[in-house]
């Protein structure tokens, strides 16, 4: 029952995960998009993990096993969160440090504050914590059979570009891609996280038998900087692919100067 | 079976949640510590939610019901994550916007990069997204029956201080408190998030029946800035309460200037 340790080659090592689970179309499209750039290992959740943010599993064991993932060189499914999958890959499955970690392509946007809730970006940020360049990709269409062909082309070019950068170990990117024909996409914009919030409207309904009320999280996004032209929201609303560089240090340095206790 | 909507008074409204669950000692100690500062409403997870970060529940309904929480004016337990609890409180339970949101007191540290995994701080950051001053408190002792008396005193003073600040709507703090006698604590330091990482060492074991290997997440923390004297790790290791101001915008503005696509 022992798992087999498989050696990597000397090609650039690309680790891919996601939060929609290993059976989602988006991760298969990402594998296809970048497989010419290196040896592709997939370690992805065995079930959907949307909204899991950077959460990790502390209170129960994790399992992983071989899986198929289209054209990946090697693939494993794991019972944990996206961040768990990255840890499992780095410390148990891969024989060496990957050259880059990719997450996605997510079915749906992770722009603005959605990055905080995003399992896709939780995985990318986990990579950044280990000084590995990491990129999360998200397509602005959440349907299971969305067309990822344009997104795949942009993903390929961005990955190639980041892999070629010198001193890229601190590069962590939140890439969101409009759902449109390639000729309608104007290019790539480097952006900042748009300030915003979800005005929640828990949908209330009743248990079919005991009639106890339950609540299902839903809501409406509000852009709190609608005039700004340097945000990810602006870029996406104006036909650009948005690339937000991300830091794992969330210290408010300005506030640090003025707080006194 | 309809839940009752209870009116708030005109006193300052304090919402308290945590990630150890409503039955943990730490949340009860926090209620006691701040109850003289306003009307205290508790909306907390009905079970432990450690390591849940800023995750939210998208794929199933949530439930809440009345609970007891020592000296809180009103208390509810909720089936969701800490961030879910804040959303439920703001949009379904409370009749008005709270004056401050508190999370904790966590049993165990949330310093350095642990803030990214922390359900305690996920709840606080959810408050910050809605422009409500929010503070997460953590005690450097994870035992269920830890002594919270010193932590409670510091929590009281910090909450009082933040409630008295003008324009405090963007104040979000990650407060970590050494586990020591009050006379050994040297005071409060405003700090930055210490760069660090977990060198994971998944503990491997075998299913008792089918002998399949499983993995339990564990690891050793490594401080990547051991010489720095302005970090939360330095403060805690030198006998200070650490107060890290937190931003929800994780854009890397420096990288934004030098990235080109």
Q: Do B56 and A117 touch (CB under 8 A)?
A: yes
Question: B39 vs chain A: nearest CA distance in angstroms?
Answer: 24
pLDDT value of position B5: 67
State the best of B221, B259, B260 to mutate against chain A, taking most chain A CBs within 10 Å.
B259
pLDDT digits (tens, 9 = 90+) for B30-85: 999 999 999 999 999 999 999 999 999 999 999 999 999 989 999 999 999 999 99
Residue of chain A whose alpha carbon sits nearest to that of B91 = A200
Q: What are phi and psi of A162, to 5 degrees?
A: -70, -40
Q: Do B48 and A54 touch (CB under 8 A)?
A: no
Q: Do A202 and B122 touch (CB under 8 A)?
A: no
Residue of chain A whose alpha carbon sits nearest to that of B154 = A261
State the best of B55, B123, B187 to mutate against chain A, taking most chain A CBs within 10 Å.
B55
Q: Do A84 and B217 touch (CB under 8 A)?
A: yes
Question: B9 vs chain A: nearest CA distance in angstroms?
Answer: 24
For residues A249 and A252, what is the distance between their CA atoms, to the nearest angstrom?
9
For residues B110 and B243, what is the distance between their CA atoms, to the nearest angstrom?
11
Q: Do A54 and B116 touch (CB under 8 A)?
A: yes
Cβ contacts below 8 Å, chain A against chain B, sum to 221
User: From start to end of chain A, where are the E strands?
Assistant: 13-17, 39-45, 64-66, 74-78, 100-107, 134-139, 172-177, 187-190, 196-200, 203-206, 213-216, 219-223, 240-245
State the best of B106, B245, B246, B254 to mutate against chain A, taking most chain A CBs within 10 Å.
B245
Question: B23 vs chain A: nearest CA distance in angstroms?
Answer: 17
Instruction: Please state the rounded mean pLDDT for residues B191-196.
Output: 98
Question: B178 vs chain A: nearest CA distance in angstroms?
Answer: 17
Sort out which chain A residues have CB atoms less than 8 A from B233's CB and list them.
Answer: none
A100-107/A13-17 β-pairing: parallel
Tell me, what DSSP letter sits at residue A130?
T
Q: Model confidence at B3, in pLDDT bands (50, 70, 90)?
A: low
Rg for chain B, CA atoms, rounded: 19
Q: Do B62 and A202 touch (CB under 8 A)?
A: yes
Q: Is A7 buried (19+), middle (13-18) or exposed (0-12) by CB count in 10 A?
A: exposed
Residue of chain B whose alpha carbon sits nearest to that of A211 = B1
For residues A52 and A122, what is the distance between their CA atoms, to the nearest angstrom?
8
pLDDT value of position A5: 67
Q: Do B63 and A92 touch (CB under 8 A)?
A: no
Question: A130 vs chain B: nearest CA distance in angstroms?
Answer: 7
CB A14 within 8 A of CB A40: yes
DSSP characters over chain B: -PPPP----SSPEEEEE-SS-TTSHHHHHHHHHHGGGSEEEEEEESS--TT-TT----SS-B-EEE---TT-SEEEEESS-HHHHHHHIIIII-SS--SEEEEEEEES---TTHHHH-HHHHHHHHHHHTT--EEEEEES---TT---HHHHHHHHHHHHHHHHSTTGGG-EEEEEE-SS-GGG--EEEE-BPPPEEEEE-PEEEE-TTT--EEEE--EEEEES-TT-SSBHHHHHHTTEEEEEEB-S--B-HHHHHH---
Shortest CA distance to B114 belongs to which of B194, B177, B47, B230? B194
Q: B217: alpha, beta or left, given left = phi > 0 and alpha = psi -120 to 50? A: beta
Q: Model confidence at A1, in pLDDT bands (50, 70, 90)?
A: very low
Sort out which chain B residues have CB atoms less than 8 A from A170's CB and list them.
Answer: 252, 255
Q: Do A1 and B58 touch (CB under 8 A)?
A: no
Residue B243 confidence (pLDDT) above 70: yes
Q: Do A243 and B250 touch (CB under 8 A)?
A: no
pLDDT value of position A6: 78
Q: Model confidence at A4, in pLDDT bands (50, 70, 90)?
A: low
Instruction: Please state the rounded mean pLDDT for residues A58-87.
Output: 96
Q: Model confidence at B1, in pLDDT bands (50, 70, 90)?
A: very low
For residues A33 and A37, what is the distance between their CA atoms, to the nearest angstrom?
9
Q: What is the average pLDDT score of chain A?
A: 96
pLDDT digits (tens, 9 = 90+) for A174-216: 999 999 999 999 999 999 999 999 998 899 999 999 999 999 9
Residue B140 confidence (pLDDT) above 90: yes
Q: Do B245 and A255 touch (CB under 8 A)?
A: yes
Block residue for tokens 């409204």: B13
Residue A169 C-alpha from the chain's centroid = 17
Please name the residues in contact with A114: beta carbons below 8 A apart, sequence gap of 6 or more.
none
What percent of chain A has pLDDT above 90?
94
Q: Do B261 and A130 touch (CB under 8 A)?
A: no
For residues A192 and B250, what is the distance between their CA atoms, to the nearest angstrom?
9
Q: How many residues does chain B have?
A: 261
Sort out which chain A residues have CB atoms less than 8 A from B205's CB and list them.
Answer: 61
Question: A133 vs chain B: nearest CA distance in angstroms?
Answer: 13
pLDDT value of position B6: 78
Among B55, B192, B211, select the one facing A52 at the smallest CB separation.
B55
Residue of chain A whose alpha carbon sits nearest to that of B117 = A55
Q: Do B90 and A261 touch (CB under 8 A)?
A: no
For residues B16 and B29, what is the distance between their CA atoms, to the nearest angstrom?
11
Question: B54 vs chain A: nearest CA distance in angstroms?
Answer: 6
For residues A18 and A16, what is the distance between their CA atoms, to the nearest angstrom?
7
pLDDT value of position B155: 98
Sort out which chain A residues have CB atoms less than 8 A from B117's CB and list them.
Answer: 54-56, 83
Instruction: Please state the rounded mean pLDDT for residues A236-249.
Output: 98
Q: Is A3 buried (19+), middle (13-18) or exposed (0-12) by CB count in 10 A?
A: middle
How many helices (H) and strands (E) chain A has is answered by: 7, 13
């Amino acid at each position: 029952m022992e798992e087999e340790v498989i050696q990597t080659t000397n090609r650039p090592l690309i680790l891919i995960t996601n939060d929609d689970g290993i059976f989602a179309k988006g991760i298969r499209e990402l594998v296809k998009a970048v497989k010419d750039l290196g040896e592709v290992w997939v370690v992805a959740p065995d079930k959907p993990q949307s909204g899991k943010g950077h959460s990790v599993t502390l209170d129960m064991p994790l399992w992983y096993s071989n899986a198929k993932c289209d054209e990946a060189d090697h693939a494993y499914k794991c019972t944990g969160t996206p961040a768990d999958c990255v840890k499992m890959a780095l410390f148990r499955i891969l024989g060496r440090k990957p050259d880059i970690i990719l997450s996605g392509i997510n079915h749906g946007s992770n722009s603005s504050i959605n990055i905080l809730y995003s399992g896709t970006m939780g995985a990318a940020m986990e990579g950044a914590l280990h000084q590995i360049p990491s990129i999360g990709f998200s397509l602005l269409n959440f349907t299971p059979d969305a067309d990822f062909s344009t997104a795949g082309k942009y993903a390929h070019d961005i990955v190639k570009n980041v892999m070629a950068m010198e001193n890229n170990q601190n590069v962590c990117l939140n890439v969101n891609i409009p759902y449109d024909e390639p000729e309608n996409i104007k290019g790539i914009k480097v952006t900042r996280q748009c300030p915003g919030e979800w005005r929640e409207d828990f949908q209330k309904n009743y248990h079919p038998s005991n009639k106890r009320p339950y609540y299902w999280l839903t809501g409406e996004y509000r852009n709190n900087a609608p005039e700004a032209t340097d945000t990810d929201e602006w870029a996406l609303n104006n036909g650009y692919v948005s690339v937000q560089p991300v830091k794992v240090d969330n210290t408010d340095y300005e506030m640090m100067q003025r707080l006194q206790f």
